[in-house]
Structure 1
Amino acid sequence: MKFSNVDLSDFDLKKRNSDKKNPKNSKKIPVVLGTAFLIAAILTAIFFLWSASFFKTQNVKPLSEEQNSSLNAFLDQTYSLKRSESLKPLPYPIVAADLEVDSGAAILVDAKNGCILFEKNADEVIPPASITKLFVMYIVFKEIENGNLSLDELVAPPENSWAINMPSDASLMFLGQGQIVTVRELLTGLAVASGNDAALALAYKISGSTKDFVARMNYEAKILGLTHTHFEEPSGYSEKNVTTARELAEFCRIYINRYPESLRDYHSAKEILYPLGKNLPSWQKAKGDSTAIYQRNTNPLLGKMEGCDGLKTGFIYESGYNLALTAKRNGVRFLSVTMRGPGTGSKQGNFYRVKDGTTLMEWAFSSFADYIPENKIQKNYPVAVPGAKTKFVNLVPAWTNAVTVPHISSQTAAEDAENVTAEIQLPKCIYGGTKLGAVYGQIQYKLGNTVLETVPLVADRTAQKAGLWGQFWGKLVCLRIR
């Protein structure tokens, strides 16, 4: 096909004539482009203004009561060992300590988190002897907490709790006929003098009979998960009362953490003087305080070991010399239980109680200290959730237990604890929604380059995925945040 004869000048002339006739055609394209640019600019501005709200993480909505309950229930189930009151291993490996402990069974734990630092035959079933009385005190405090009893409530000791009706070798606070004694005084009699008579008097006061009170003791042991602990009577006199060093330590930790006033008001008391004139029956009132019997606390380390403020001794021939011991220094508390302690007679038995208790406690305080996360980290970490129906969620630590810090590099364990760092690893955003309890970050507690513990950071709520349009814009927001 040939176009050699076409005159292009005629074509250009016609086009110029057409433009002169329709001047709008030449201006149409710039207007369209300008409008498109303006719309794009407006949309961009709107997007940036809207997406900026995702940076205001302080606007995260607090959980409702129902949501908070769901979160705690999920965490308690998923991280049951870490969040429970059970004893647990340290979260990092250590070389087992070679300690000279003469007791047949022993265990040492960090009272704040339940981490086991040392153990020896801790699962051997042994009679607790008078340490049984701690369970009596636990139930008394529970009754007071529930409003069923008060410390100043008066108790008339039943006949079978009178000192004259007790076995000749029983420990006593010396209750007698016609006496009037308060619950507070009976607790002191249990903690200081290890009175079998006080145990019986409280059993009758709470349950109406020894049998029913012992059933209560076994019920409490069961709900605490103490599967090898069983009681036949409340004073510890019977060898049929049994437990293990591990379960006894677990119980003691629960007891002092729930009722710390027991240490201050009772277990650290150095002496008891009873009965005073106010306790005597009318026919003995004239004697005043002259009949009072002075007894020192049975704990041989009370007043001798720095920071010792409890807990309880126990002895019957079938158990040997037992000791539940606790001490606190510079905010750090350790708890030990030694059972089947050797010795012929109380003097020798106490010698080994002191020796083993001192060995365990001094090693613990020189080798470990506590780092308290709650004092160092946030309770929650808000994170944006673009592409979801909820803008923000909080990431929360799955647990906030104290971290037992080993003495590695500093001059003291306490200095090592001060040098622990918490490395928080968080996503800049979470696209498309979250699931309650799902892990989206972590906290690493480190001493130098040594990781002591890693704690998951989990979503405190479910954030449902948005629709397609919301997901599209959410993707853009996530790209901007990142």
Structure 2
Amino acid sequence: MKKLKKLLIYNLLTLLMFTSLASYLPTKPASAAVELGLEAEAAILVDANSGKILYEMNADMTLPPASMSKMMTEYLLLEAINDKKVSWQQEVSISDYVYRISQNTSLSNVPLRKDVKYTVQELYESMAIYSANGSTIALAEVIAGSETNFVKMMNDKAAELQLEDYEFVNSTGLNNSDLLGMHPKGTGEDRENMLSARATAKLAYHLINDYPEVLDTASIPLKKFTKGIEGEGISMLNWNAMLPDIPGYLQQFAYEGVDGLKTGSTSLAGYCFTGTAERNGMRLISVVMRTNSQYARFEETKKLFDYGFSNFSEKELFPANYQLEGQTTLDVEKGKEKEVQIASSESLKTVVKSNEEELYEPKLVLDASILGEEQQLVAPVEKGQKVGYLTYEYKGDNNYGYLFDNGDVTEMVDVVTSAGVEKANWFALTMGAIGGFFADLWSSVLNGVKGIFS
């Protein structure tokens, strides 16, 4: 009997010990339960419309982005074109620095000639399609006068775009040691650009949303660069093997809907890729960093896209003219009507994971700056007057948030008045005030009488 009692006590203490230890074991959030089997150092998948993150893995680890850095060069060029500081047909002379880099056939390049002038568009296409490094530096010199000045622009723009985890030391993404001692001043000889997967996705998000025309060039599978050595043309096969029209043996990596964006590889970076694809009106942005081979980056990207397009779709959560139960009207002060109906001005849509529609609850946020202390409008009130916005609260577990802190502002629609309310005339207002006075007086009398008999 004593042995049995000791055994029971021992088992109870053991159970309590393991229960206590379990409470201290690190636990992953529910959102980390998604396992895609990615063979990459870091990755992220994002809805390109809202910036909503659908999947991430080591997304804040800073790694070399290699030629994915050229997305910043593309952004600054397209911005300069848009601001009319540079034109597509502007002719460019090739500097000694650009010439020497462009002749290095161990790097991705179109060999440039010093006796020929190139248009900005020709250099841009060779950068966007073939990742030509010499052309990239030439464009940096056009925009900023020197690559040193351009690197400052890159870092300033990165701060403006809220990339957070970044450092740019050159325009191309090469290691500075590849620049033959001519790397930008103030940067180390063995330095290389650094970005996190999240920062890279932010850059891609801004690039394709601010300048969607970048995809017109990034999606070109093959093009001839006509001004090659001694006039010989160079076939520029896009490094993005996931393009649907990519020729030859690369077709095995083609993926429906892919139309960009930028590959990269150096000995330090490994092989990386920022991709974007659109299907059924939903565009995704993916980033994979430090994969094992030139083609592994596309295989890992395929896993991300398959997950995104198979499990998510854009859904209408709440239709136009939606009214939240119990919050269908607002009181109106000094108006001919005492209240006015309010409703959403348009439907609210978002990217939703399969079978999770019921986890999104409507949320009405009224604009306190236009409402009085009593949460009411003051007449006159115009039809369609904005009084707040309709958004949602997600009650599920798979919540990675957004690329940007204010990302949820894209996930809302205006709430407006459904009718106008005219201001009451002076007589009505006066009578209302008198009525209110006597009502208050009568209420005071009644309270006084109650006090006597209480």
Distance 1:421 1:243, change over 3 A: closer
Distance 1:445 1:188, change over 3 A: same
* Contact 2:258/2:276 (<8 A) preserved: yes
Q: Greater CA radius of gyration, 1 or 2?
A: 1
Question: Is 1:199 the counterpart of 2:136 in the alignment?
Answer: yes
C-alpha displacement at 1:151, in angstroms?
1.7
User: In structure 2, what is the equivalent of residue 371 of structure 1?
Assistant: 315
Match of 1:313 among 245, 263, 275: 263
Distance 1:197 1:441, change over 3 A: closer
1:123-156 per-residue CA deviation (whole Å, 9 max, x = no partner) reads 1110110011110010011111112122222222
User: In structure 1, what is the equivalent of residue 352 of structure 2?
Assistant: 405
Q: Equivalents in 1 of 2:31, 2:334: separation in Å?
A: 45
User: In structure 2, what is the equivalent of residue 339 of structure 1?
Assistant: 289
User: In structure 1, what is the equivalent of residue 199 of structure 2?
Assistant: 247
Match of 1:433 among 365, 372, 376: 376
C-alpha displacement at 1:399, in angstroms?
11
- What secondary structure does 2:63 align onto? coil
Match of 1:330 among 261, 280, 300: 280
* Contact 1:387/1:473 (<8 A) preserved: no
- What secondary structure does 2:61 align onto? coil
C-alpha displacement at 1:383, in angstroms?
6.2
Q: Equivalents in 2 of 1:245, 1:337: separation in Å?
A: 6
Q: Equivalents in 2 of 1:152, 1:372: separation in Å?
A: 44
Question: Is 1:386 the counterpart of 2:332 in the alignment?
Answer: yes
Alignment of 1:187-266 (within 5 A): 187-238=124-175, 239-263=191-215, 265-266=216-217
C-alpha displacement at 1:295, in angstroms?
2.2
User: In structure 2, what is the equivalent of residue 273 of structure 1?
Assistant: 224
Match of 2:304 among 357, 360, 377: 360
C-alpha displacement at 1:252, in angstroms?
0.4
1:18-59 per-residue CA deviation (whole Å, 9 max, x = no partner) reads xxxxxxxxxxxxxxxxxxxxxxxxxxxxxxxxxxxxxxxxxx
- What secondary structure does 1:162 align onto? helix
Distance 1:339 1:401, change over 3 A: farther
Instruction: Report the residue type matching 1:386 in the other structure.
Output: V
* Contact 1:112/1:402 (<8 A) preserved: no
C-alpha displacement at 1:178, in angstroms?
1.8
Q: Equivalents in 2 of 1:441, 1:275: separation in Å?
A: 54
* Contact 1:341/1:353 (<8 A) preserved: yes
User: In structure 2, what is the equivalent of residue 297 of structure 1?
Assistant: 238
Q: Equivalents in 1 of 2:54, 2:159: separation in Å?
A: 25
C-alpha displacement at 1:94, in angstroms?
5.5
* Contact 2:240/2:260 (<8 A) preserved: yes
Q: Structure 2-normalised TM-score?
A: 0.66
Match of 2:108 among 162, 171, 177: 171
- What secondary structure does 1:218 align onto? helix
Q: Equivalents in 1 of 2:127, 2:34: separation in Å?
A: 34
Using the TM superposition, name which of 151-160 and 205-214 deviates more. 151-160
Instruction: Report the residue type matching 2:212 in the other structure.
Output: P
Identity %: 28
C-alpha displacement at 1:184, in angstroms?
1.4
Structure 1 runs not aligned, ≥5 long:
1-92, 343-348, 410-415, 448-452, 477-482
Q: Equivalents in 1 of 2:113, 2:336: separation in Å?
A: 69
Structure 2 runs not aligned, ≥5 long:
1-29, 176-190, 245-253, 379-384, 396-407, 436-454
Q: Equivalents in 2 of 1:292, 1:475: separation in Å?
A: 91
Distance 1:473 1:360, change over 3 A: farther
- What secondary structure does 1:294 align onto? strand
C-alpha displacement at 1:440, in angstroms?
6.6
Instruction: Report the residue type matching 2:117 in the other structure.
Output: I
Instruction: Report the residue type matching 1:364 in the other structure.
Output: G
Distance 1:156 1:251, change over 3 A: same
Alignment of 1:43-62 (within 5 A): none
Aligned CA RMSD, in angstroms, stands at 4.4
1:351-375 per-residue CA deviation (whole Å, 9 max, x = no partner) reads 311210111101110100113679x
Instruction: Report the residue type matching 1:273 in the other structure.
Output: K
Instruction: Report the residue type matching 1:355 in the other structure.
Output: E
C-alpha displacement at 1:181, in angstroms?
1.5
- What secondary structure does 2:167 align onto? coil
* Contact 1:388/1:471 (<8 A) preserved: no
Question: Is 1:124 the counterpart of 2:67 in the alignment?
Answer: no
Q: Equivalents in 2 of 1:457, 1:116: separation in Å?
A: 24
